[in-house]
């Protein structure tokens, strides 16, 4: 299916897979190379994402890696204000996603800086976030921490209906690779991921340099680019509409090659 997103009144097509570049305004994200804290670092990362072909920038100010330090809401807002102001200054036309699980942080990002998408890693367990995104009217990324396909489908179906009942229009589904799953469960879900298309909503896949890759290969996040490329390619074959990545250039190459192959298939 061809999906579109309403971004500030403009319909953005997902006919061709999009690449979302990660910008972590944090000191402790799991991949050291993604940490950007100063205005200069944030500006350089923004330029890099755009120059390498990314159409979306996912800005986060709270690390969700296991064992990460809890960040008070006000501190998360302060980090995001610096990051979003810089991103908007460097790339005013870019589609900006904000990675947060807090409703008031989402509201601030949309109302103060015109954030275009809310990327919620709380698995939609906070009803206040559902109400907030429906009120804001921005596209919403709903993530799952369920361990298998059946439970993922059931949870998504139930929560999508809750969102629809609130008036939420644009919903993107994230299977949540790396969240609440063992390495084996991650790979099994990837193997069956095309079945999530039954929900008729666009899929976002975020597997960039995650432990399912480097633990399997016996390496670390810094050595996981090749493995990320392999699994990103598989994700495209199984219906991913958006790839959320650290390495934009390589993901764009995946998308271009897939686009060349798709008409043949």
Q: Assess whether 244 carries a catalytic annotation.
A: yes
Catalytic residue among 158, 164, 210, 215: 210
Please confirm, yes or no, whether 210 is among the known catalytic residues: yes
Partnered with residue 189 across adjacent β-strands are none
> Which of 206, 179, 188, 195 is CA-nearest to residue 239?
195
Q: Dihedrals φ, ψ of 65, to 5°?
A: -70, 155
On the 0-12 / 13-18 / 19+ scale of CB atoms within 10 A, 196 is: buried
**Orientation angle between helical segments 149-166 and 127-136, nearest 10 degrees:** 50
What is the greatest pairwise CA distance in the chain? Answer: 51
- Say which of 88, 209, 244, 256 is annotated catalytic: 244
DSSP 8-state secondary structure symbol assigned to residue 70:
P
Q: Catalytic residue numbers?
A: 210, 244
């Amino acid at each position: 299916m061809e999906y579109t997103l309403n971004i500030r009144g403009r319909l953005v097509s997902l006919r061709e897979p999009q690449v979302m570049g990660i910008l972590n305004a944090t000191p402790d994200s799991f991949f050291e190379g993604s940490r950007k804290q100063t205005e200069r670092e944030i500006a350089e990362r923004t330029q890099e994402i755009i120059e390498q072909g990314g159409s979306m920038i996912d800005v986060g100010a709270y690390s969700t890696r296991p064992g990460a330090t809890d960040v008070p809401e006000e501190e998360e807002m302060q980090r995001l204000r610096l990051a979003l102001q810089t991103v908007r200054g460097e790339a005013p036309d870019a589609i900006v996603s904000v990675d947060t699980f807090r409703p008031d942080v989402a509201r601030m990002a949309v109302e103060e800086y015109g954030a275009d998408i809310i990327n919620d890693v709380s698995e939609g367990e906070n009803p206040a976030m559902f109400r907030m995104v429906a009120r804001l009217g921005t596209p919403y990324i709903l993530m799952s921490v369920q361990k298998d396909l059946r439970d993922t489908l059931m949870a998504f179906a139930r929560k999508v209906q809750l969102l629809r009942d609130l008036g939420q229009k644009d919903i993107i589904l994230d299977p949540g690779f790396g969240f609440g799953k063992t390495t084996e469960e991650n790979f099994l879900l990837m193997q069956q991921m095309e079945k999530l298309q039954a929900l008729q909503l666009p899929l976002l896949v975020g597997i960039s340099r995650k432990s399912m890759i480097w633990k399997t290969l016996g390496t670390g996040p810094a050595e996981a680019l090749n493995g990320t490329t392999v699994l990103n390619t598989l994700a495209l074959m199984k219906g991913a509409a958006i790839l959320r990545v650290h390495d934009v250039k390589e993901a764009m190459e995946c998308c271009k090659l897939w686009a060349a192959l798709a008409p043949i298939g």
